[in-house]
Amino acid sequence: MAKRKTNGGAEDGAGSILSTVAGPSVPPHPTRLGPPNPIASQLLEKVTGDEKLAADMPFNATKALEYGEAAYTPHQGETHTPPTSLATAGTSTETVASPKVGDGQPAIGDNALNRPLDRVRVDDSARELTTNQAVPVADNQNSLKAGLRGPTLMEDFILREKITHFDHERIPERVVHARGSAAHGYFESYEDLSDITRAAPFAAAGKRTPVFVRFSTVAGERGSADTVRDVRGFAVKFYTDEGNWDLVGNNMPVFFIQDAMKFPDLIHAVKPEPHNGMPQAASAHDTFWDFASLSPEIAHMLLWHTSDRAIPRSYRMMQGFGVHTFRLVNAQGVSVFCKFHWSPMAGTYSLVWDEAARITGADPDFHRRDLWEAIDSGQFPEWELGLQIFTEEQVAQFPFDILDPTKIVPEEMVAVRTVGKMVLNRNPDNFFAETEQVAFCAAHVVPGVDFSDDPLLQGRLHSYIDTQISRLGGANFHEIPINTPVAQMHNNQRDGLHRQAINRGRVNYEPNSLAGGCPFQAGARGFVSFPEPQHGSKVRGKPELFADHYSQARLFWISQSLTEQRHIIAAFRFELTRVQTSAVRQRVLALLANIDEVLVASVAEGLGMLVPPPLPPAADRPPYDYPPSPGLSLFARPGSMGIRTRRVALLVGANTDLAQARSLYASLLDDGAVPRLIGERIGPVVEISLETAPSVLWDGVIVPDAMPAVGDVTVFEFLKLQYRHGKPLLALGNGAELFKAARIPHTLPHGVPDPGVIVAAAADAIEALASFKAVLAQHRVYARETDPPSV
């Protein structure tokens, strides 16, 4: 037999390497796979490397550490370094480059999805219109027809693609928090908090962590209005260098219910009634108050809900709270309890109800627009983060249970420690891609933050992720760019709807040897749950301290100013007047009778009803007598921003002294306010018309000199509403004639001068404007209100 010529090198087992099934019992070690070519050489290198990597792990050396005493100490997974990067590749052709796959082999150990959002931003400047397959579109005006007057042809793939995409542009909205607005920014830590937590955002003074924050209403649907009476969501996604942390809270520190089992019932009750779909985004209806009157644990939250907290002036001017008690854990495994507080640097301010109701019609996007405009103008909203930190020993002395989400820890018991600042400095590029698709989950925490046994929190840990899977098309919602972490993301989760990652290699399980044990578990460097001891029998129920439903509701009431108490009474009167079922109103009054005599008597009087006997308490334990907590009043936090972002209307007409108006305008701008020249019609001078920007959209009004005192009902109504809603008004020179014509009082109901109605000669404009600014910075003149609480 003629001797076969070879190109040199061993060939035994080459066929097995060229195949994907089976192989000899002894690993083949060919040195060539046929005629030389670069890819064959890489395949050989890959398979040889695979075999070496697998052989390096003859057994799972860490398995024994999962049992007994060793299990109390987290262990790092076993790893081995591949002899070649090709050993962990899925294909030997991974280095083949193209405009689609990129330059070839990725950086080993890198996840290219975790990059700044620049990688997914799209700009259409100077680009042709194309289909979603990048085919240039010749005609975007007409469908393809058989003749100019003929039928449309099914073969028109451009039409079908366009219509199909349009038909599917809406995704299911959130069941709650459907209407929201969001922005990018950062959190900066004031100090190193490693003594109490290993959480990445607090690792060093001055450390900055990117955030994305979404504000929202709760009850309304996506198309509802911003200024309805409702709780506001305050959700912060921290993109930390150890993963994403979602602090998903509200603008109120307590909640309606004590156990997640009741959450569907609460939301069903407050949503539009199922038989007629009304009312939208409102709690003033029978089903909500029927549920509330039969659930006395709601009492504390009802006081917050009927207070001015439920109608904030701006998202930028409301507090945020984590609601629940959390744990902070340091690197040594030592834990403390914590409650989270966000306090706005702009101060805490609200709308009055009549104003809020009118804004709903004038600009249903009032809060969304306010946030966008402030950020787009460089007036970045800021909040300081405060922590209430307390120990197991302190908890044992509290007259309430820290696991009860209807309770607060009064600041007089545990002071709030300010630890950092959050700044929102960038609006989203695309509302849908970012604000709508962002997915928050209470279960998203990082090492150093852990949960308490709060039964409402425990239910939320499941509910959020379950909702996102439904809303965003499956389990891969974390790969939507706004949801991806900046820290590297590596695991063995694969497939599912809308998968974005193209995972390299053949391994999607752990433990493994074919990928060198990677990705490997982090051991003690990873998230370790606090080992809280557990004891007790299985039971459905609540601790005894949960049964105190009224003590903290009374605490909130007695901590409010008289103005705020008037507003709470008016809110209860409004809400219960809309309730048709008298027995429901009766039960609510019986609930209020357990809180305060003045409160229940005033509400009953407003409803034309007698005060009923109080609801029976849920337990024999007597109520706790808290002293007032001044920090619970909105007035306790005036902020430090002055008149920045305040909207001021300058009413101008044909005879207005424009030089003076422009001088006032410039001075307001210098202090960060947002002045506009407003008149009957827009023109060379007038920026916006009265019909487009009614009175409720402004924080104050100025009438410059020579404004004609015409009998314009629209102007009169504008000024009267400014006065009724407590806004500051300034008139200069002849502009005062409008105040007279509109019958704007210069004194308060008890006869003293009204500091917010300022009339001055044109020559005194500088001093008058300074007085106007001082009142504007205080938000309102609440002293104009005349109906005090009565018994």
**Residues that are catalytic:** 177, 250
Q: Which of 323, 329, 291 shows the shortest CA–CA distance to 459?
A: 323
How far apart CA 441 and CA 244 sit, in angstroms, is: 10
Q: Which of 62, 28, 84 shows the shortest CA–CA distance to 515?
A: 84
Which helix (DSSP H) or strand (DSSP E) does residue 354 occupy?
helix 353-362
Residues whose CB falls within 8 Å of the CB of residue 284, separated by 6 or more in sequence, listed in order: 229, 574, 575, 578, 579
Q: Which of 127, 87, 305 shows the shortest CA–CA distance to 217?
A: 305
The DSSP-derived string for 432-484 is IIIIIT----TT---TTEEE---HHHHHHHHHHHHHHHHHTTSTTGGGSGGG-
The DSSP-derived string for 76-109 is PPP----SSGGGG-S-TTTT--BTTTBSSSPPTT
- The angle that helices 562-577 and 582-592 make with each other, rounded to 10 degrees, is 160
Rg over alpha carbons for the chain, rounded to the nearest Å, is 33
At 623 the three-state DSSP class reads coil
How far apart CA 381 and CA 375 sit, in angstroms, is: 7
- Reported as half-sphere exposure (CB side, CA atoms, 13 A), residue 87 has a value of 21
How far apart CA 235 and CA 417 sit, in angstroms, is: 20
Q: Which of 728, 409, 350 shows the shortest CA–CA distance to 564?
A: 350
- C-alpha 498 chain-centroid distance: 24
Burial 743-756 (b: 16+ CB within 10 A, else e): ebeeebeeeeebeb
Angle value at C-alpha 732, between 783 and 689, nearest 5 degrees = 85
Instruction: Lay out the sheet containing 647-651: strands in order across.
Output: 688-689, 674-679, 647-651, 700-703, 729-732, 757-760
Residues whose CB falls within 8 Å of the CB of residue 440, separated by 6 or more in sequence, listed in order: 214, 235, 237, 246, 248, 464
Q: Which of 444, 441, 378, 431 shows the shortest CA–CA distance to 182?
A: 431
Residue 152: phi, psi to the nearest 5? Answer: -75, 140
Residue 222 in contact with residue 177, Cβ under 8 Å? no
How far apart CA 719 and CA 709 sit, in angstroms, is: 12
CA dihedral 762, 766, 771, 775 (to 10 degrees): 100
Burial class (CB in 10 A: 0-12, 13-18, 19+), 103: exposed
How far apart CA 441 and CA 77 sit, in angstroms, is: 28
Q: Which of 701, 607, 603 shows the shortest CA–CA distance to 652?
A: 701
Count Cβ atoms below 10 Å from residue 343 Cβ, excluding itself.
20
Which helix (DSSP H) or strand (DSSP E) does residue 238 occupy?
strand 232-240
Q: Is the C-alpha dihedral spanning 557, 563, 564, 569 positive or negative?
A: positive
Burial class (CB in 10 A: 0-12, 13-18, 19+), 376: exposed
Max Cα-Cα span within the chain: 126
Burial class (CB in 10 A: 0-12, 13-18, 19+), 83: middle
How far apart CA 509 and CA 515 sit, in angstroms, is: 10
